[in-house]
A and B are shown apart, each in its own frame.
Chain A
Amino acid sequence: MKEILRFAQNDKKADDSKNIEKKQNMSRIKVELRKDQIEKIGEICQSFNNEPGELINVLHKTQGTFGYLPAEVQEVIAKNLNVPVAKVYGVVTFYSFFTMIPKGKYPVSICTGTACYVRGAEKVLDEFKKELKIQVGETSADGKFSIACLRCVGACGLAPVVMVGEKTYGRVAPEMVKDILAEYKD
């Protein structure tokens, strides 16, 4: 039993990223949506026939367009799909894919799935945190980098795997972190 619980606690560390994000939400800056942005969200909802059951797809597409899902965007989606905004927020906070804070220009994603985890993903993650001086779920002050954990990118043979934007790095060791970051100078 204790073993199981300990395993669950490891699992929980990944969930901590959501918790940090939550704290940032509380002190977040209000976003004023422009008219054309509200219309754009309306179009996305309309493309799914304003169907409440399409909430996840709508959020997915909206995040693709805006980069993140601030409260104001969720409110507009809630109105269009005729669901309580609390429900929208519930879905946003459930899936680690959705984020309420803008990601960095180069989002760093560290896979903490089982294979990567046992091959040392945590040490790699710690190195990124140290180098960038941010926690999981946070974005660096210059807006350049953000760190997120994800679960399995389907490249377990390359474990541990790190993604920066669309680019994938395999067999990453903590020593390589500096060099990886150096590739993104501008």
Chain B
Amino acid sequence: MEKIKLTIDNKQVEVAKGTTVLKAAQQLGIDIPTLCYMHLNDLNIEHKPAGCRICVVEVDGRKNLAPSCATEAAEGMVVKTHSLRVLNARKTVMELILSDHPKDCLSCAKSGKCDLQDMAVKFGIREIPNQDIAEMSTYRKDFSPSLIRDMDKCIMCRRCETMCNDFQTVGALSAINRGFYSVVAPAFEMEIEDSPCTYCGQCVAVCPTGALTEVDHTNQLISDLANPAKTVIVQTAPAVRAALGEEFGMPAGTSVTGQMVTALRELGFDYVFDTDFAADLTIMEEGTELLDRLTRHLNGDKNVKLPILTSCCPSWVNFFEQQFTDLLDVPSTARSPQQMFGAIAKTYFADKIGVKRENLVVVSIMPCLAKKYECQRDEFKVDGNPDVDYSITTREIASLIKRANLKFEQLPNSDFDAPLGESTGAGVIFGVTGGVIEAATRTAYELHTGKTLQKVDFEELRGLGGIRHATIDFDGLPIKIGIAHGLGNARKLLEDVRSGKSEFHAIEIMACPGGCIGGGGQPLHHGNSKIIQKRFEAIYKEDAGKTIRKSHENPYIIKLYEEFLGKPMSEKAHHLLHTHYVDKSKKIIYMK
């Protein structure tokens, strides 16, 4: 590879041709500030619109200042990153961005995690000139079940657009209008709820300001916990434990399961349960469905739909309900673990403890924004009462733990309650891309072959590649498996299914990068995609540490079928644990 030499702040550096000035400076340990720029290395997303001009530098021989994020380094270039001219320009840019930005930092949902705020601190902004004549934007707030858009706080970095259009290929957002009136909005400025948005929340995960935030359910939770008439139970998704510690300053990849359980008990939940239990239940249903379809296929049934697609991810469900409506009978009918948990909690468990459905509040803690929408779907309500009352994110529960004066990092470990808290390693890996299908493989293999797996780790299914495939030998029967994370990658696999080219028997799809560990409700990664890698490792470590690692060996799952459900895919299981999909294409528009 061709190398070039340049000088940045009087230091020489040698970089590969094509490297930007920003990256070259980083090699020297010079941290040029950026705002609109975003580089998610492991996902191959580099967003450099050079729009905000915060990263400008002075280049000898060049008349104007150069945006370092989008300027290629050249041989012999001499760059200054903190000359007086640069510092003044940066400060002016910052002042102009702030001039029409709301000043309600104290009560802003992003306060303390806001890139814009950090930048203002970094530049030592003490006053914003011309506030007396500056006009403020007054764009309407847009509420949806999962996320809130407050475009007055938008600084037009357009990171959300890159995630929505390029990474997810959802196409819900675009910059519209011009000049002072420009905002990022859905087509025809419709409400986000009417747009093709799937609530994956990746826009929220990358938004540098309070323009995109999640719907907050913490206050509702506090009042429910204080209500003696209510029994409040909680389920925690597998990916939460691999990331929650970050909110308390712990290094990424710290697994905090035991401390999280203690904290939830301290908060006042009557029972602390685990979504992993329901993940095991999902495997029983989905795995059985897979085997059923496979068996019928092998027996020559032409009507059977293969590949079977996983259905745990609510954002992915929204995606195919809108954009692949001709394939609604292809995904598994199994509900997501969140909803299976809710259905079992409000029937089996409510009966067990003798609490009426309406007095039982089921809360879920999820790494996800789409889960907030999912639990409000009509299919998951009985006489208007939802199976899961509401879902809160990893970020929200961290905020609650802080409000309850708990020193999280000093809390002792404790275990989940029985019976809905017992889980296996298979349930844990639901939180990461490839995990659901690995968990299903562990169970389906043993149920199909009648043999015990020598090794439960299917390394060939693991990884962070956007699209992966593997063939698993089911005792002479080769099972072809496809895996995608990110809806853009999912689209590629789906198009093959649509055109009949797909050779897979089963495909796992997760909407977010890395699976749920990179969900829209997780602690903000601020562009550091290494964090997702660390969470990935934490999940597999947790799995390896479990005594039981196959869903069908979970003793409480076995008991649940014995006492209540009968067998997988029984009529009762169908009623409580399966769902149907709705054609939502009419409300949206295209992107084939």
Using CB atoms and an 8 Å cutoff, list the residues of chain A in contact with chain B: 1-2, 5-6, 9, 11-12, 15, 18-19, 22, 25-26, 71, 74-75, 78-79, 82-90, 93-94, 96
Is B133 part of the contact surface with A, judged by Cβ < 8 Å?
Answer: yes
From residue A30, how far is it (CB to closest CB) to chain B in Å?
Answer: 12
Chain B residues near A18 (CB-CB < 8 A)? 177-178, 181
Q: How far is B412's CA from A91's CA once the two chains are assembled, in angstroms?
A: 56
Q: How far is B174's CA from A25's CA once the two chains are assembled, in angstroms?
A: 17
Is B259 part of the contact surface with A, judged by Cβ < 8 Å?
Answer: no
CB of B591 within 8 A of CB of A83, answer yes
CB of B176 within 8 A of CB of A89, answer yes
CB of B178 within 8 A of CB of A94, answer yes
Using CB atoms and an 8 Å cutoff, list the residues of chain B in contact with chain A: 129-130, 133-135, 165, 170-181, 185-189, 195-196, 589-592
CB of A86 within 8 A of CB of B173, answer yes
A90 with B590: in contact, given A5-B130, A25-B188 (CB under 8 Å)?
no
Contact of A74 (CB < 8 Å), options: B175, B180, B187 = B187
CB of A2 within 8 A of CB of B130, answer yes
CB of A86 within 8 A of CB of B134, answer no
CB of A88 within 8 A of CB of B179, answer no
A15 with B181: in contact, given A78-B589, A86-B173 (CB under 8 Å)?
yes
CB of A75 within 8 A of CB of B130, answer no
Chain B residues near A84 (CB-CB < 8 A)? 165, 170-172, 174, 187, 196, 589-591
Main SS of chain A's interface residues? helix
Q: How far is B580's CA from A65's CA once the two chains are assembled, in angstroms?
A: 44
CB of A85 within 8 A of CB of B589, answer yes
Contact of B592 (CB < 8 Å), options: A5, A71, A82 = A82
Chain A residues near B178 (CB-CB < 8 A)? 15, 18, 93-94, 96
Contact of B591 (CB < 8 Å), options: A1, A9, A15, A82 = A82
CB of A1 within 8 A of CB of B129, answer yes
Q: How far is B170's CA from A15's CA once the two chains are assembled, in angstroms?
A: 30
Contact of A85 (CB < 8 Å), options: B130, B177, B590 = B590
Chain A residues near B171 (CB-CB < 8 A)? 83-87
Chain A residues near B187 (CB-CB < 8 A)? 71, 74, 78, 84-86, 88-89
A90 with B176: in contact, given A25-B188, A85-B171 (CB under 8 Å)?
yes
A-B interface pairs (CB < 8 A), number: 86
CB of A86 within 8 A of CB of B179, answer no
Chain B residues near A86 (CB-CB < 8 A)? 171-174, 176, 185-187, 195
Please indicate which of the listed interface residues A11, A19, A85, A96 has the most CB atoms of chain B within 10 Å of its own CB.
A85
From residue B172, how far is it (CB to closest CB) to chain A in Å?
Answer: 6
Contact of B130 (CB < 8 Å), options: A1, A12, A94 = A1
Q: How far is B589's CA from A82's CA once the two chains are assembled, in angstroms?
A: 10
CB of B176 within 8 A of CB of A78, answer no
Chain B residues near A93 (CB-CB < 8 A)? 176-178
Task: List the A residue with the shortest CB-CB distance to B177.
Answer: A93
Chain A residues near B165 (CB-CB < 8 A)? 84, 87
Q: How far is B20's CA from A154's CA once the two chains are assembled, in angstroms?
A: 40
From residue B363, how far is it (CB to closest CB) to chain A in Å?
Answer: 34
A12 with B591: in contact, given A1-B130, A86-B172 (CB under 8 Å)?
no
Q: How far is B185's CA from A94's CA once the two chains are assembled, in angstroms?
A: 13
The 27 listed contacts between A and B (C-beta, < 8 Å) are A5-B130, A12-B179, A12-B180, A15-B178, A15-B179, A15-B180, A18-B181, A19-B181, A74-B188, A78-B589, A79-B592, A82-B592, A84-B170, A84-B174, A84-B196, A84-B590, A85-B171, A85-B187, A86-B172, A86-B176, A87-B171, A89-B176, A89-B187, A89-B188, A90-B176, A94-B178, A96-B178
From residue B95, how far is it (CB to closest CB) to chain A in Å?
Answer: 10
CB of B174 within 8 A of CB of A89, answer yes
Chain B residues near A87 (CB-CB < 8 A)? 165, 171, 174
Task: List the B residue with the shortest CB-CB distance to A14.
Answer: B179
Q: How far is B195's CA from A71's CA once the two chains are assembled, in angstroms?
A: 14
CB of B189 within 8 A of CB of A78, answer no
Task: List the B residue with the shortest CB-CB distance to A25.
Answer: B188
Chain B residues near A74 (CB-CB < 8 A)? 187-188
For the complex with contacts A5-B134, A82-B591, A84-B589, 11 further pairs of A-B residues with Cβ separation under 8 Å are: A5-B130, A18-B181, A78-B187, A79-B590, A79-B592, A84-B172, A84-B590, A87-B165, A89-B187, A89-B189, A90-B176
Q: How far is B135's CA from A79's CA once the two chains are assembled, in angstroms?
A: 38
From residue A69, how far is it (CB to closest CB) to chain B in Å?
Answer: 11
Q: How far is B188's CA from A25's CA once the two chains are assembled, in angstroms?
A: 8
Chain A residues near B181 (CB-CB < 8 A)? 15, 18-19
CB of A2 within 8 A of CB of B133, answer yes
Chain A residues near B173 (CB-CB < 8 A)? 86
Task: List the B residue with the shortest CB-CB distance to A9.
Answer: B135
Q: How far is B427's CA from A69's CA once the two chains are assembled, in angstroms?
A: 51
Q: How far is B130's CA from A5's CA once the two chains are assembled, in angstroms?
A: 9
From residue B49, how far is it (CB to closest CB) to chain A in Å?
Answer: 14
Contact of A71 (CB < 8 Å), options: B130, B176, B177, B188 = B188
From residue B123, how far is it (CB to closest CB) to chain A in Å?
Answer: 18
From residue B212, how far is it (CB to closest CB) to chain A in Å?
Answer: 15
